[in-house]
A and B are shown apart, each in its own frame.
Chain A
């Protein structure tokens, strides 16, 4: 049982390049989300989805796009990378449409470390 799988684990980009961070989960969770983790800032929500075809913005959405065409996959796209997007990115999923009443437990991937030069 793989849980939440993120690829790549490490990536170096040049300013202006675009890329996609992949996230897949095999737990049939309706809710999926992307966070970035920066030193001294904790985890900040970028985008989230409560089901296939539904996405919404989190706290820091600028510079990122998402789509949710299937329950399993939730890719995060950086359109034009900037040094400020250097961070560790975490994908997380949760059952029950992400309602806190469903337990509120997020299942995290291992993270993707992105460096933008």
Chain B
């Protein structure tokens, strides 16, 4: 069965420090992975998807099929990065009715 695990419920770093939000998954087919973010008083929104291989707001995430991970990284955290981050998984070509979210990691960046 598919599963998304975000082992850290809370994560705190200081401004300028590197940050890594962990996401591990289990899926028997070809996965597609996403990171969604919810800033305070804002709507949940897509941050990035692995198929795009893009960097958004300085964040990157690489799909590691060997370790079944899709960790979100940023070399220098900013206070405005404080938010709730969700990792999400579906199967390639599948519908979003089979999009599964992790439990989320609340990131706090201290000044």
Query: Which A residues are within 8 Å of any B CB, using their own CB?
Result: 31, 33, 35, 40-45, 48, 50, 56, 58-59, 90, 92, 94, 97-101, 103-106, 108-111
Tell me the nearest residue of chain B to A90, going by C-beta: B44
With beta carbons under 8 angstroms apart, the residue of A41, A42, A100 that contacts B96 is A100
Tell me the nearest residue of chain B to A31, going by C-beta: B96
Bound Cα distance A90, B99 (Å): 14
With beta carbons under 8 angstroms apart, the residue of B44, B45, B97 that contacts A98 is B97
23 CB < 8 A contacts A-B: A35-B101, A42-B6, A42-B101, A42-B102, A42-B103, A42-B104, A43-B101, A45-B97, A45-B99, A48-B95, A48-B96, A50-B95, A59-B100, A90-B44, A98-B95, A98-B96, A99-B93, A100-B94, A101-B92, A101-B93, A105-B46, A106-B46, A111-B43
A108–B99 CB distance below 8 A: no
Bound Cα distance A2, B34 (Å): 24
Query: Which B residues are within 8 Å of any A CB, using their own CB?
Result: 6, 9, 32, 34, 36, 43-46, 49, 86, 90-97, 99-104
Tell me the nearest residue of chain B to A94, going by C-beta: B96
B101–A109 CB distance below 8 A: no
Residues of B within 8 A of A103 (CB): 49
Bound Cα distance A92, B44 (Å): 9
With beta carbons under 8 angstroms apart, the residue of A41, A42, A58 that contacts B97 is A58
A100–B90 CB distance below 8 A: yes
Tell me the nearest residue of chain A to B93, going by C-beta: A101
Residues of A within 8 A of B102 (CB): 42
Residues of A within 8 A of B36 (CB): 106
Bound Cα distance A41, B94 (Å): 23
